């Protein structure tokens, strides 16, 4: 692929990320009344549209990774809610340790079930401090499902940009 063609794909696929992430964030706002900010969605969009033909960009890995991350994040959110009411847990160190544990368990689940997707580990950590973690997890899974569908139907027009 020559440089002009390569830059054409870089621009196209970058604008696809902008367009799809913008639409998903607007849908979040429309249906929930406020923007549900799922930062890991950007990392997933990067993987899906910059490396669309890589094994890790297949829907099974992306959606499965988010399910594993959601389970770990929600579990540690409930643990954090319990522990934060205890006398010794008044420090931010407890939050740091619980977020790290959520990341470790999310990674363990992804590796165990062979559904590796790194941005979903970040989402698991974010869910620990999220006031409405179940809604955010559901929104994230719906969002990445939409991204996966878009990547699937556009795959023949996309190139891996390595």
Report yes or no: 137 and 144 within 8 Å, Cβ to Cβ: no
CA distance linking residue 156 with residue 50, whole number of Å: 13
- pLDDT value at residue 162: 81
- pLDDT value at residue 31: 77
For residue range 4-31, list pLDDT tens digits in order.
889 999 999 999 999 999 999 988 888 7
CB atoms within 10 A of CB 37: 12
> Which pTM value belongs to this model?
0.92
* Residue matched to tokens 């027009």: 157
Upper half-sphere CA count for residue 40 (Cβ side, 13 Å) = 25
Q: How far apart are the first and last CA of the chain?
A: 11
Contacts of residue 43, Cβ cutoff 8 Å, sequence gap at least 6: 118, 119, 122
Report yes or no: 90 and 38 within 8 Å, Cβ to Cβ: no
Contacts of residue 29, Cβ cutoff 8 Å, sequence gap at least 6: 35, 36
Per-residue pLDDT of the chain (162 residues; tens, 9 = 90+): 788 889 999 999 999 999 999 999 988 888 776 666 788 999 999 999 999 999 999 999 999 999 999 999 999 999 998 888 776 656 788 889 999 999 999 999 999 999 999 999 999 999 998 888 998 899 999 999 999 999 999 999 999 998
- pLDDT value at residue 86: 72
Per DSSP, the chain holds a count of helices (H) and strands (E) of 6, 0
Report yes or no: 108 and 142 within 8 Å, Cβ to Cβ: no
CA distance linking residue 48 with residue 58, whole number of Å: 8
Chain mean position to CA 44 = 6
- pLDDT value at residue 35: 64
CA distance linking residue 94 with residue 84, whole number of Å: 8
């Amino acid at each position: 692929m020559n440089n002009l063609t390569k830059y054409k794909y870089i621009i196209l696929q970058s604008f696809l990320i902008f367009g799809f992430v913008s639409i998903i964030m607007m849908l979040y706002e429309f249906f929930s009344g406020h923007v549900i900010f799922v930062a890991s969605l950007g990392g997933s969009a990067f993987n899906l549209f910059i490396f669309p033909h890589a094994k890790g960009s297949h829907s099974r890995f992306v959606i499965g990774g988010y399910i594993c991350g959601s389970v770990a994040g929600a579990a540690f959110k409930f643990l954090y809610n319990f522990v934060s009411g205890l006398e010794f847990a008044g420090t931010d160190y407890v939050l740091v340790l619980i977020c790290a544990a959520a990341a470790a368990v999310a990674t363990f689940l992804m590796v165990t079930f062979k559904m590796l997707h790194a941005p979903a580990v970040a989402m698991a950590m974010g869910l620990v401090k999220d006031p409405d973690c179940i809604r955010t997890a559901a929104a994230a899974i719906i969002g990445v499902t939409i991204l996966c569908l878009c990547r699937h139907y556009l795959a023949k027009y996309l190139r891996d940009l390595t």
